[in-house]
Structure 1
């Protein structure tokens, strides 16, 4: 038998989530200790492999799926997965593609998926499991309790990575205040952002597979991630490499998991010239720190950065010099000076 994975199939998993008609029907088949082969959709390639059976074209219901599974042959659903097009269909895929599956149902499902490009669901009568075949892969559809356990673990991991990210951001802020930022500091922050992205992607897929049962986990996921996108955007604006339009945080997505732990590879993937090494100094623009000052009107931060060049220039600017920036009032100038002083005091006292 082919090795199984419990990684969800992004397109199909929501349709197999607890509470959906299709999943309810499949669960009824499992509990009835009968097997099934269900093709998710139809196309000319499938029609070329099909003989016999009954064309019924009726709405998909869980009870109808359960009763039709008692007959030999495949059940064919519409592309929208809302109708049962045919039942008791005999499928005759080519025997040429090699397969390590041993059961007739699973061998047929694997070859049909490969030849037609459609997903095929099987229910094992002996094992009581539901599998999805897509292309040359086979995925085991987790039980709801397994999905909840995995989603809970993902949320826990996400929370831990979030704590580490903000620790890294605090260290970066401290280095910014002392004008001592290096590519190594930035790479460590970028590393944390990408780790969170990967865990969040997995958690999102798991939540989609939980359907209505995933509401609370979905709220936790949103609470842990909704503020990170604007924060990452500020970091990217602060550290745009010379000659580039933005910092390439998205470029880290091409790294394999083991590579993501190599800070050298992370640093190289951010888009800086080859001459910039991990201990090379960087000069942040200051957008992230200015964004932390609540009384600063929208758009004023960009004008301040443009006027003084970078964060070091902003820190060195007097209140009178700040008043020379368009739309900077005495109140705004005081807020900038006091806000930056508060940030510096906070991060330096924490060291």
Structure 2
């Protein structure tokens, strides 16, 4: 604009709640064109962003940094609690002693952790280059939480892997916070009746989550193993020959699966001991 030596002249009949000339023009241009418009006020030390009917005023960098660091501390607490319930769930899966309550606790914690990470990610966008270190910490903290959440749904959804499981994941993400605290609502997302008692209802995992922790085991092989075997307990009891009989597995992968499951059980025992 400075190079062209012109001014923006939007339609003056477009309604605007802004009082300053610069901000009023920016709002009208955004509404008229649908483009992203940035208005900077040197006098008030503010930056406002307009797009369509939406207006957003950027906060000062020190304020956003303070808020984001506090959110990171909260996220770290959420992640620690999630690790505890995941370790417990893994132990119960190897013992075939899972009840629905154990699954719902993991789903609830994983979703809360994911939502907190999404809020921090939005703050990082606002911080720009100032948020580089925070983005690194966020990546380290969130890790494979989304994948773990998805695997839990695949393991325990009543209808198994498929469109309904994907819809359950989307519905979980869309749940208001208050409903996320209601286990009856979470159970319904997995296809269980609302009147089921999560503390008494035994469930068995299909094996998606545990098998996904075995290094270098492709997702396609995980799906074939789960599809051919009758749940995680059946996979744990399977012999070398049983696993080799599954299409695409073969002798080498069958041995890797058996060894991987054995190591996962040992690591889980160590993790539970360290949490005591």
Secondary structure of the corresponding residue to residue 49 of structure 2: strand
The secondary structure found in structure 2 opposite 1:120 is: strand
Counterpart secondary structure, 1:283: coil
Is residue 123 of structure 1 aligned with residue 40 of structure 2? yes
CA contact (8 A) 2:187 2:193 kept: no
Which of 222, 240, 243 in structure 2 is aligned with 1:325? 243
Give the Cα separation in 2 of the matches to 1:88 and 1:275.
Answer: 61
Q: Distance in 1 between matches of 2:119 and 2:101?
A: 27
* Structure 2 residues without counterparts, runs of 5 or longer: 245-249
Give, in angstroms, the shift of residue 147 of structure 1: 3.0
Distance 1:123 1:300 in 2: 55
Aligned with residue 289 of structure 1, among 205, 210, 219: 210
- Closer/same/farther in 2, CA of residues 340 and 108 from structure 1, 3 Å limit: closer
Q: Deviations over 1:56-114 (max 9, x none)?
A: 6x4xxxxxxxxxxxxxxxxxxxxxxxxxx55334444315x473x44454444434433
Aligned residue for 2:103?
186
| CA–CA separation in structure 2 for the residues paired with 1:338 and 1:226 | 24
Normalising by structure 2, we get a TM-score of 0.76
Q: How does 1:220-239 map to 2 (within 5 A)?
A: 220-239=137-156
Compute the displacement of 1:156 (Å): 2.2
Q: For the residues of structure 1 that align with 2:128 and 2:268, how far apart are their CA atoms?
A: 45
Q: Deviations over 1:158-189 (max 9, x none)?
A: 22221121122123223323433233322221
Does 2:179 match 1:259? yes
Which structure 1 residue ranges, 5 or more long, are not aligned?
Answer: 1-54, 59-84
> What's 1:113 paired with?
30
In structure 2, C-alpha distance between the alignment counterparts of 1:106 and 1:200, rounded to whole Å: 32
Would the aligned equivalents of 2:61 and 2:127 in 1 still touch at CA under 8 Å?
A: yes
User: Could you say which structure has the higher helix fraction?
Assistant: 2
Aligned to 1:269: 189
Paired residue secondary structure (1:88): coil
Seen in structure 2, the aligned counterparts of structure 1 residues 275 and 129 have a Cα distance that, compared at 3 Å, is: closer
- The alpha-carbon deviation at position 343 of structure 1 amounts to 5.5
Query: Taking structure 1 as reference, are residues 104 and 193 closer, same or farther at Cα in structure 2, changes over 3 Å only?
Result: same
| Aligned counterparts of 1:119 and 1:238: Cα–Cα separation in 2 | 43
Which residue among 147, 158, 179 is the counterpart of 2:75? Answer: 158
Deviates more, 1:174-183 or 1:254-263: 174-183
Measured against aligned partners, the alpha-carbon deviations of 1:287-338 in whole angstroms (never above 9, x if no partner) come to 32344455x85576555544541122234x26xx343320356955762573
Structure (1/2) with the larger strand percentage: 1
For residues 133 and 271 of structure 2, the distance between their equivalents in structure 1, rounded to whole angstroms, comes to: 34
Secondary structure of the residue that 1:325 maps to in structure 2? Answer: helix
Matches within 5 A, 1:42-191: 58=3, 87-94=6-13, 97=15, 99=17, 101-191=18-108
Cα deviation, residue 201, structure 1: 1.9
The 2-side partners of 1:208 and 1:287 are apart by: 34
Counting matched residue pairs gives 263
CA distance in 2, matches of 1:243, 1:302: 11
| Deviation sequence 1:207-247 (CA, Å, 0-9, x none) | 23333332222221221223334433432332243265135
Q: Could you give the per-residue CA deviations for residues 117-150 of structure 1, whole angstroms, max 9, x where no partner exists?
A: 2333333354221112233332111222233223
C-alpha separation between the residues in 2 aligned to 1:237 and 1:332? Answer: 23
